[in-house]
Structure 1
Amino acid sequence: MLMYQSCLIIYKHELDDNYSVPMVVIGFYIAAASLCCVLLMSADLLHGLRSNKLWFPCTWFPINAFTLAVIAVAMKLPVDLSGSMPGVVDQVAKLGSMAFMCTMMANFLPCLATMTSKELLANVTALGVMVITLVINVCVQINTGVIVKKGKKVDRPLASLSPRGNGPRELFEVANQTIGNLTANTQKMEVKVIGSISYVTIAIIYVILLLLLLIIYASSSLAIPKIKHSIQQKYQQAALRQQETS
């Protein structure tokens, strides 16, 4: 029985190592997409400062199919429903992605006025679907405990197992040393929080901000075509009056 438990622990540990190998590639993929968004937004910022356009027009980072695809890759962590990610860095990475999404949505606002009615409808609808999906997934993670609460205890594999890369002999020795404490395969870990604010509270704040920004987008998409049409009519009337007086 002791040998069976030891082999089972070694087998599960090896499976965890194999399953975690693609996470490094996925992490680089997400980091590359996020870096692309940051560089494009920085280019818009520099362009606005050099042109004395303090509303920072979205020349390099407008709402289109390319930017929405890059944002979808950058938002992989908060959209993921399967990974528990109980570590402090993991939780902060999820929350940081939501803050990054709020920043990008605020950056997109000036480009709405440059679109036609069809482009405005298509792009705002696609962005709304993405934001609603993100909000729903985050709410599911809050309810299921993927985004942990303050003081909540979560299960974590025993940290006393040997690190990745050790052979079966080392793993078997570690298992024999810790077999007395292995009545359960996990131990409880107190989840840390950012200061005195829990991760769930911060996630709820970001969800509210995303919904408010989405409401602003929906309202702007309805108002901008009428405002542009009204301005165009006033411009044509002023041009006709100028022609008549001349």
Structure 2
Amino acid sequence: MKQSLIIALDFPDLLQTQTFLKQFHSEKLAVKVGMELFYQNGPSIVSFVKEQGHDVFLDLKLHDIPNTVKMAMTGLAALGADMVNVHAAGGQKMMEAAMEGLDKGTSAGKKRPLCIGVTQLTSTSQEQMNAEQNIAGSLEDSVLHYAKLTRQAGLDGVVCSTHEVKNIHERIGHEFLTVTPGIRSAGGQTHDQKRIATPEQARDFGADAIVVGRAITGAADPLRAYLDMKAAWEGISC
């Protein structure tokens, strides 16, 4: 899913998801199925989106003991998602177990889903991290630490804000994926995000993929909003 603009399908049910996707006609999309949609509709939602021809980032942020995560990933691997994730805070052994589960659950001849680690949520500020997580130092250092741990565990990349992308690529390499939420158009509402950026900034910082939610799903014309955002991300003048 490198160089993708991923639309966050933050809807509660299949009907709203169907209504939204119908607006995109023959566009092949990359979409994120998160907790809200998955937990209220079950694994069949992934099958439905894949049947429409779209790529799926299954965003469940697994975080548990290694064996539980391994078994969960074994099941998720069979759903056909293109990318899944875990919380890097679960530790190296947990992330290694996640990869073992994905390998075990991927059918012969099929491509294993990409697996990325969540570093610090883009809704988290440095003040929150210091006070509530009791992690000293800068937020950028914390993100880089989790990124290095994720790499050591054999994962394909991380979820981070655009502001940490350059440092991660310089320290870990450009083949290590950086998937960046918190993307907004210039002047757009921040909602509950703290570390945000425009698509142009994400591209300039070197992000490999961006995740856009309400700026598209909440727009009066979602298709137009998507095409404008995609053009900005790809550096195309409209």
Computing the radius of gyration over CA atoms, which structure comes out larger, 1 or 2?
A: 1
TM-score (norm 2): 0.26
Bigger helix share: 1
Greater length-normalized contact order (CA 8 Å, ≥ 6 residues apart): 1
TM-score (norm 1): 0.26
